């Protein structure tokens, strides 16, 4: 041990010394992997990630210091220990995870022993150390778990040796270190276990490597030995791995070892600070082989990828200035999931993940403190050098001047403005670069036009001169373009379009001219293109221009909000003609294709699938696809199929925002796109789709928006016996009328781009595409059998073939069951038979009764007809007015007595008064009278003063009577008006006579004192006068009695008419023989007509007394009285 310590000390000293020689880690200019991270903020329970696996269903499992995490790409489900709760995990600190062939998840904890998780039940079974049981687990700290090919489960403990579990008896056998026994395991602190292709078990401990032979039940030790150069570099072993070729990788506290069991040779890998291709650190904590057979090594200071060809490492570190770098260098665990994502667990910063096979985009950006890197991240333009100059790329930046990119060594040479050097670049804001056919390099800046002298590395300037009309019209250059004739065109920011005359070294200006219709539309020029016909297209910030050089005229194209065939926007950013001569225009409102044959524009925007409407640049690839940059990434557009595939920062682009003019395609077909965070290079053929079809699982099942627990009763019954992910069929009650399924595609590369489609067979016959929504709710499903199916696509639109499905059986309510319906049918059938028999008997009895009733009613009708004939005579002879009205008091008929009394017919009544009694009557209380009659169903009388046609005033007493049928409903109203004018006049006369008598009495009282002496003589005369007055009162009372007698007689006659009328109508309804019905209906009509002539009260007026009044002087009256 002492020699080992000395050796490690010397090596450490040499490494520290070399650090001074090679003090800085050189960051890679083009990092192939983009690291994303998940932390507590994303739902992770804790940031120390001990272990990672992906189970057979596709879920990711992470062991942390505070719980076991299950992840579906969107959400974490966390399992923690809870004291006293059965079925929970025994300890929250999870340090190892393993899935066996049966699908059980085995979890090793730090204090709680071994746990087995049953996904079906969602419960944990715990195995722990029991001092009283020799067959129990030997220690509660579980560092490693593995299953051998014969199904044996081996467990490495921290101080309890190696354990083997007999699953049948659930007994553990412990293999421990035995002093002085070289065939026992070398140490009881087990760190890692692997089985080789020969069935032997390799066990890493804190004191060397052990090979266990199950045939001999013995261990063979491999340990570090300073005297033996072919020994391990260190005995403290942290991780072992057997790769696909059978080689054993051993990670220790001091270096990585590669052991060839066949040759017995060990290759050691140590960190060398002076060699960036060496392993990043000597403390190796994790080793993993991906499906490309690449070896990944996690150390205490970085992640390393082993290169078999060069026998070296590419290392990845945290870069605080790069958010897409590894977020921490201390790596504890590594795992690759099936969709191609590598997961990295760190010591304190949670999870990192990246695409193990990059999409094909390479990004370059400024690296602080690296003078050979790009010096500015805001890119405006590109230009390729000639072959003799190595196809270097000129890059124009904002603020960084001109960068020359050496593609062989990924370095950048910078040319910037130097205020003290008049031959330096005129400005550090470079907007356009062009190398013309003659080999001249032109650079457009915001402070004039430049040409570059390769030999002298100097620049010549062209600037605007207000005094020279043939100078450049504006110093702010936006775009440079060379036409097929080799002429140079310059688009400026505020000076319009310029053409350079090389022969005369002067500029021809094309600017907007007020009042000139065929001049350019705007002086802000952003795009220039000469098409295959030699026509120039000029894009400005106020419209598109087509320039005809032969006519020197501009044709304008503007947006018309009312015309969808016009260009979508006047703000033009670029113009492009593809190999098929299609013209494409980029605007701030989407892509425009100009159809020359119809002179119209066809628009493409977000509605068609583009991620954004602000379009910058076009480049066509060799397959005819257009690659289009925008404010939300780059899109691949097929002009024929119109299919669009979008790429963003998550695919490896420099960012989502790009710049207009910052695009280029080199001679090899590689494309360059620049934005606000560097530039991205790719070859279209290298951009491959991820063909891994996603695994789709159901992640939750809810009733009434509440998750259904596994194995627990809900509303008195168990619905889920297993987890929903493993359930094939569920049975529900009709009362469970709101159900929800949640699902997830277990494809972890940009899960936000995964999309879903589902259907419910038995309810719908189509699939529902719902984008990235991961749930569906159904309500009030009818009883029956259904199958819910869901499919998903990955981030590249590759769809799963079968997806996942679950059968749903909704039990019907008892009234929809077959037995209930059968009973109902039998009951209804029996009831129908009984009802039929009873109906026949009833009909027979009714027929007999009806025959009797017909005979009786026929006789009654005969008698009533005789009565009606009599009443008809009475009604026709009466002088009273009779009016028949419907139930709403609308006039229907009047008799001849009405015409005699008022002098008007029915038609004149309607003409002068109206059709309705209530509306036409002048009686002030008519509404109260009619309402009383209608509600009480009783007759009512009232008096009213009316005018006849000849303007005679007639006092009328009206008797209003309802006609009620057998059901108690009012069918008609009959009003009988009697002329009481004479009675009223008599009443007035009597009243006047009484008033005169009262006056005479007052006169007599006045003479009382004068006639005192004759009082006795006149007493008898006065008494006689009083008797006469009394007689007058009696006569008046007699007149009132006569009137009441008349009214009573009238009501009696109406009552006598009403009963036979209702009787005859009812007989007509109930008699079946047609002839009898006809007779009764005719009789009924006759009776109704007879009502018109009813109730002649004049016959009772013969006994009335007529009183005549005469005026007499009082003196004469007294003399007559005294004479008598």
Residue 214 has pLDDT above 90, yes or no: yes
Residue of 510 and 937 predicted with greater confidence: 510
Residues with Cβ within 8 Å of 100's Cβ and at least 6 positions away in sequence, in order, are 106, 147, 151, 153
CB atoms within 10 A of CB 154: 23
- Two structure tokens written together for 591: 């892509």
Average pLDDT over residues 641-668: 95
Average pLDDT over residues 111-116: 98
> What does the buried/exposed string (b/e) look like for 944-979 if buried means 16 or more CB atoms within 10 Å of the residue's CB?
bebeeeeeeebbbbbbbbbbeeeeeeeebbbbbbbb
If pLDDT is split at 50, 70 and 90, which confidence band does 822 have?
Answer: confident
> What does the buried/exposed string (b/e) look like for 885-919 if buried means 16 or more CB atoms within 10 Å of the residue's CB?
beeebebebbbbbbbebbebeeeebbeebeebbbe
CB atoms within 10 A of CB 534: 12
d(CA 272, CA 250): 19
Residue of 22 and 1006 predicted with greater confidence: 1006
The beta strands (E) that lie in 679-833 are given as: 679-682, 696-703, 706-707, 713-714, 717-718, 729-733, 738-745, 755-761, 768-769, 775-779, 784-793, 804-811
- Which of 275, 229, 208, 224 lies closest to 15 in space, CA to CA? 275
Average pLDDT over residues 1085-1103: 47
pLDDT for the residue numbered 1087: 52
pLDDT digits (tens, 9 = 90+) for 467-480: 999 999 999 999 99
- Burial of 50 from C-beta contacts in 10 A (0-12 / 13-18 / 19+): buried
C-beta of residue 496 within 8 angstroms of C-beta of residue 525: yes
pLDDT digits (tens, 9 = 90+) for 1039-1067: 666 666 556 555 555 555 555 555 454 54
pLDDT for the residue numbered 922: 83
Q: What is the DSSP letter of 104?
A: P
The CA-based angle 685-581-382, given to 5 degrees, is 55
Share of the chain above pLDDT 70, in %: 85
C-beta of residue 79 within 8 angstroms of C-beta of residue 88: yes
d(CA 651, CA 680): 11
d(CA 351, CA 51): 11
- Which of 633, 635, 644 lies closest to 675 in space, CA to CA? 633
- Burial of 863 from C-beta contacts in 10 A (0-12 / 13-18 / 19+): exposed
Average pLDDT over residues 685-689: 90
Mean pLDDT score of the chain:
87
If pLDDT is split at 50, 70 and 90, which confidence band does 878 have?
Answer: confident
Residue of 1004 and 557 predicted with greater confidence: 557
pLDDT for the residue numbered 1108: 47
Residue 41, CA distances (Å) to 79, 116, 750 in order: 18, 29, 18
- Two structure tokens written together for 889: 């008091």
pLDDT digits (tens, 9 = 90+) for 573-604: 999 999 999 999 999 999 999 999 999 999 99
Q: What is the DSSP letter of 53?
A: E
- Which of 549, 552, 425, 442 lies closest to 502 in space, CA to CA? 442
If pLDDT is split at 50, 70 and 90, which confidence band does 877 have?
Answer: low
Q: Which residue has the tokens 């099942």?
A: 701
Sheet holding 411-415, edge to edge: 379-384, 393-397, 402-406, 411-415
pLDDT digits (tens, 9 = 90+) for 386-430: 877 778 999 999 999 999 999 988 999 999 999 999 999 999 999
Q: β-strand 729-733 against 804-811: which pairing, if any?
A: parallel
d(CA 497, CA 502): 16
Q: How far apart are the first and last CA of the chain?
A: 178
Residue 852: strand, helix, or coil: helix
Residues with Cβ within 8 Å of 218's Cβ and at least 6 positions away in sequence, in order, are 183, 212
pLDDT for the residue numbered 1114: 47
Residue 1112 has pLDDT above 70, yes or no: no
d(CA 440, CA 436): 5
d(CA 23, CA 1072): 123
If pLDDT is split at 50, 70 and 90, which confidence band does 150 have?
Answer: very high
If pLDDT is split at 50, 70 and 90, which confidence band does 33 have?
Answer: confident
Sheet holding 804-811, edge to edge: 729-733, 804-811, 784-793, 755-761, 768-769
- Burial of 1089 from C-beta contacts in 10 A (0-12 / 13-18 / 19+): middle
- Which of 928, 944, 918, 932 lies closest to 970 in space, CA to CA? 932
Residue 461 phi, psi dihedral angles, 5° rounding:
-110, 145
Residue 430: strand, helix, or coil: strand
Residue of 1 and 821 predicted with greater confidence: 821
Average pLDDT over residues 566-572: 98
d(CA 1088, CA 1057): 9
C-beta of residue 346 within 8 angstroms of C-beta of residue 332: yes
Average pLDDT over residues 713-717: 88
Residue 337: strand, helix, or coil: coil
pLDDT for the residue numbered 754: 95
Residue 548, CA distances (Å) to 158, 501, 507, 536 in order: 85, 18, 18, 7
Q: Is the dihedral of CA 635, 636, 637, 642 positive or negative?
A: negative
What the chain holds in terms of domains, given with CATH numbers, is: 696-816 (2.60.40.10), 877-1100 (3.30.450.20)
Residue 1032: strand, helix, or coil: helix
Looking at 26-35, 237-246, 708-717, which range is the least confident one? Answer: 26-35
pLDDT for the residue numbered 1067: 47
pLDDT digits (tens, 9 = 90+) for 62-83: 999 999 999 999 999 999 998 8
pLDDT for the residue numbered 4: 43
pLDDT digits (tens, 9 = 90+) for 905-914: 888 888 888 8
d(CA 381, CA 658): 11
């Amino acid at each position: 041990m002492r020699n080992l310590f000395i050796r490690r000390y010397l090596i450490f000293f040499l490494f520290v010394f070399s650090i001074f020689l090679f003090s800085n880690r050189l960051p890679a200019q083009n990092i192939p992997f983009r690291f994303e991270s998940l932390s507590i903020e994303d739902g992770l329970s804790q940031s120390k990630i001990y272990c990672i696996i992906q189970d057979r269903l596709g879920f990711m499992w992470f062991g942390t210091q505070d719980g076991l995490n299950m992840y579906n790409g969107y959400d974490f489900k966390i399992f923690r220990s809870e004291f006293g709760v059965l079925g929970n995990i025994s300890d929250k600190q999870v340090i190892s995870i393993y899935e066996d062939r049966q699908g059980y998840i085995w979890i090793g904890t730090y204090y709680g022993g071994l746990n087995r998780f049953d996904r079906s039940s969602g419960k944990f079974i715990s195995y722990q150390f029991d001092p009283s049981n020799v067959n129990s687990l030997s220690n509660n700290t579980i560092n490693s778990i593995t299953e051998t090919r014969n199904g044996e489960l081996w467990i490495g403990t921290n101080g309890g040796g190696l354990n083997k579990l007999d699953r049948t008896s659930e007994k553990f056998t412990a293999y421990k270190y035995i002093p002085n026994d070289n065939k026992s395991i070398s140490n009881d602190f087990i760190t890692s276990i692997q089985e080789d292709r020969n069935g032997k078990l390799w066990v890493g401990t804190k004191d060397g490597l052990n090979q266990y032979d199950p045939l001999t039940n013995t261990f063979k030790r491999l340990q570090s030995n300073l005297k033996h150069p072919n020994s391990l570099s260190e005995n403290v072993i942290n991780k072992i791995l057997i790769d696909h070729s059978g080689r054993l990788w051993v990670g220790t506290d001091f270096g990585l070892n590669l052991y060839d069991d066949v040759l017995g040779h060990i290759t050691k890998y140590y960190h060398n600070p002076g060699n960036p291709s060496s392993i990043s650190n000597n403390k190796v904590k994790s080793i993993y082989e991906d499906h490309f057979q690449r070896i990944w090594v996690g150390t205490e200071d970085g992640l390393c990828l082993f290169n078999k060809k060069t026998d070296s490492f590419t290392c990845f570190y945290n870069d605080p200035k790069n958010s897409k770098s590894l977020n921490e260098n201390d790596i504890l665990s590594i795992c690759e999931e099936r969709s191609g994502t590598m997961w990295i667990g760190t010591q304190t910063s949670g999870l990192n993940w990246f695409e193990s096979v990059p999409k094909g985009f390479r990004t370059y950006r400024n690296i602080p403190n690296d003078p050979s890197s790009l010096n500015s991240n805001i890119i405006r333009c590109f230009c390729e050098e000639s072959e003799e100059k190595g196809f270097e790329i000129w890059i124009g930046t904002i603020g960084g001047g001109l960068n020359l990119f050496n593609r062989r060594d990924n370095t950048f040479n910078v040319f910037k403005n130097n205020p003290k050097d008049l031959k330096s670049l005129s400005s550090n804001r470079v907007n356009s670069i062009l190398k013309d056919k003659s080999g001249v390099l032109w650079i457009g800046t915001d402070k004039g036009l430049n040409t570059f002298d390769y030999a002298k590395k100097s620049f010549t300037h062209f600037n605007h001169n207000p005094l020279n009309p043939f100078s450049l019209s504006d110093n702010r250059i936006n775009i440079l373009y060379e036409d097929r004739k080799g002429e140079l065109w310059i688009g400026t920011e505020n000076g319009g379009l310029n053409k350079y005359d090389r022969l005369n070294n002067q500029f021809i200006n094309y600017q907007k001219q007020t009042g000139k219709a065929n001049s350019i539309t705007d002086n802000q020029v952003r795009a220039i293109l000469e098409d295959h016909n030699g026509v120039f297209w000029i894009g400005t910030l106020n419209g598109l221009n087509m320039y005809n050089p032969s006519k020197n005229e501009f044709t304008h194209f503007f947006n018309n909000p009312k015309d969808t065939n016009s260009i979508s926007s006047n703000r033009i950013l670029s113009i492009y003609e593809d190999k098929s001569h299609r013209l494409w225009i980029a605007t701030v409102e989407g892509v425009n294709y100009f159809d020359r044959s119809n002179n119209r524009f066809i628009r493409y925007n977000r509605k068609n699938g583009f991620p954004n409407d602000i379009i910058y640049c076009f480049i066509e690839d060799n397959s005819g696809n257009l690659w289009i940059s925008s404010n939300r990434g780059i899109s691949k557009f097929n002009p024929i199929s119109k299919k669009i595939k979008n790429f963003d920062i998550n695919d490896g682009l420099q960012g989502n925002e790009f710049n207009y003019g910052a695009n280029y395609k080199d001679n090899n077909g590689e494309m360059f796109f620049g934005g606000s965070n560097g530039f991205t290079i790719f070859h279209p053929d290298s951009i491959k789709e991820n063909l891994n079809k996603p695994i789709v699982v159901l992640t939750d099942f809810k009733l009434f928006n509440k998750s259904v627990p596994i194995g627990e009763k809900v509303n008195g019954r168990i619905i889920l016996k297993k987890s929903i992910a493993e359930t094939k069929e569920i049975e529900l009650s009709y009362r469970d009328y709101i159900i929800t399924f949640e699902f997830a595609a277990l494809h972890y590369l940009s899960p936000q781009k995964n999309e879903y489609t589902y259907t419910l067979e038995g309810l719908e016959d189509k699939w529902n595409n719902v984008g990235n929504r991961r749930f569906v709710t159904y309500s009030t499903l009818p009883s029956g059998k259904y199958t819910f199916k869901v499919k998903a696509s990955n981030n590249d639109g590759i769809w799963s073939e079968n997806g996942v499905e679950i059968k749903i059986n909704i039990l019907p309510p008892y009234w929809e069951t077959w037995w209930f319906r059968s009973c109902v049918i039998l009951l209804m059938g029996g009831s129908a038979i009984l009802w039929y028999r009873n109906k026949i008997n009833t009909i027979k009895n009714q027929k007999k009764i009806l025959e009797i009733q017909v005979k009786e009613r026929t006789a009654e009708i005969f008698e009533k007809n005789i009565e009606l004939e009599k009443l008809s005579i009475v009604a026709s002879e009466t002088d009273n007015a009779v009016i028949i009205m419907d139930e709403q008091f609308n006039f229907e008929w009047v008799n001849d007595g009405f015409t005699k009394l008022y002098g008007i017919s029915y038609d004149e009544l309607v003409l002068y008064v109206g059709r309705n009694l209530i509306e036409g009557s002048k009686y002030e209380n008519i509404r109260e009278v009619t309402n009383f009659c209608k509600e009480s169903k009783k007759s009512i009388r009232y008096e009213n003063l009316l005018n006849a046609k000849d303007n005679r005033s007639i006092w009328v007493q009206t008797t209003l009577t309802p006609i009620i049928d057998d059901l108690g409903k009012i069918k008609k109203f009959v009003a009988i008006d009697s002329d009481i004018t004479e009675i009223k006049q008599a009443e007035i006369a009597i009243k006047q006579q009484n008033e005169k008598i009262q006056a005479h009495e007052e006169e007599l009282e006045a003479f009382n004192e004068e006639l005192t002496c004759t009082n006795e003589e006149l007493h008898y005369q006065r008494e006689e006068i009083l008797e006469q007055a009394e007689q007058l009162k009696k006569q008046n009372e007699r007149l009132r009695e006569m009137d009441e007698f008349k009214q009573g007689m009238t009501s009696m006659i109406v009552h006598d008419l009403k009963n036979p009328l209702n009787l005859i109508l009812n007989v007509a309804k109930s008699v079946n023989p047609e002839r009898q019905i006809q007779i009764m209906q005719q009789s009924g009509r006759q009776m109704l007509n007879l009502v018109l002539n009813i109730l002649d009260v004049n016959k009772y007026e013969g006994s009335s007394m007529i009183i005549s009044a005469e005026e007499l002087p009082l003196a004469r009256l007294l003399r007559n009285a005294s004479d008598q």
